[in-house]
Amino acid sequence: MTLLSHSRLAILVPANPTRYDSGSEEKDRADINAHRLHAQLHGSVYWNVPASGRDHSWIDDVKTIYFAELRDQAPHRCDVVNYKGDIVNIEHFLTKDDMRSRFPPEEVELLCGTRRKVWELEGNGGYNWSRWTGVGKWGFLFFRAANIRPLRTAHNIRDFTKAFGLSNEHVRRCQKYVIVFDPPFG
């Protein structure tokens, strides 16, 4: 992987609330507005995604989170980015036991809705991490975000440039997450 020299990195994560019916847990976990309101109430909120690989050397360099929403209808028919937030902290947890030993218990309230089930024990309704493909091998990344806000203008994910890989390669798809150069979107 090649990392281009740039001042700031950001992470682009999928958030697809329109893809799920109103009663599903996936809708709850993908609801940007619910997370934004939770962050306003508590000062910040956690968003988590399955990790990819073991190299997370970029974690300390990521300062912004962008949320990509899948749009299947014209005129977009692609992922659109309408929201961004400030990264307070990023943690990688390989297993649920790892998370429960290192995650500050006083911050559990910062897990919004059903995201709290990644913390809770399976016997108490918590999720078994192995139910997600890849999580059993790579774990989860947790992003503590604050100041989640709408962008002045919606952006296509192709407006973002990948920080790793080929030089100047634009993002075409956001499944788990993509590390990008932080564009000057207000």
In a domain, 56, yes or no: yes
What's the pLDDT at 177? 92
In a domain, 2, yes or no: no
CA angle 67, 106, 88 (to 5 degrees): 35
pLDDT at 21: 59
Q: By residue range, what is the domain housing residue 74?
A: 9-181
What number of other Cβ atoms are within 10 A of residue 157's Cβ? 22
Give the span between the Cα atoms of 157 and 69, in whole angstroms. Answer: 9
Strand pairing partners for 81? 68, 155
Ranges of H-type helices in 11-95? 25-30, 32-42
Domains held by the chain: number: 1
Beta strand pairing call for 79-93 and 9-14: unpaired
Task: Let me know if residue 186 belongs to a domain.
Answer: no
In a domain, 4, yes or no: no
* CATH number of the domain to which 26 belongs: 2.30.130
Distance CA 70, CA 29 (A): 15
The answer to whether 12 and 176 have CB atoms below 8 angstroms apart is no
Burial 58-78 (b: 16+ CB within 10 A, else e): ebebbebbbbbbbbeeeeeee
Tokens of 56: 């997370």
| pLDDT digit string (tens) for the chain, length 186 residues | 444 444 589 999 988 655 555 665 666 777 888 899 999 999 999 999 988 888 899 999 999 999 998 766 555 456 889 999 999 999 999 999 999 999 999 999 999 988 888 889 999 989 888 777 778 789 999 999 999 999 999 999 999 999 988 778 999 888 889 999 998 876
Tokens 């080929």 correspond to what residue? Answer: 166
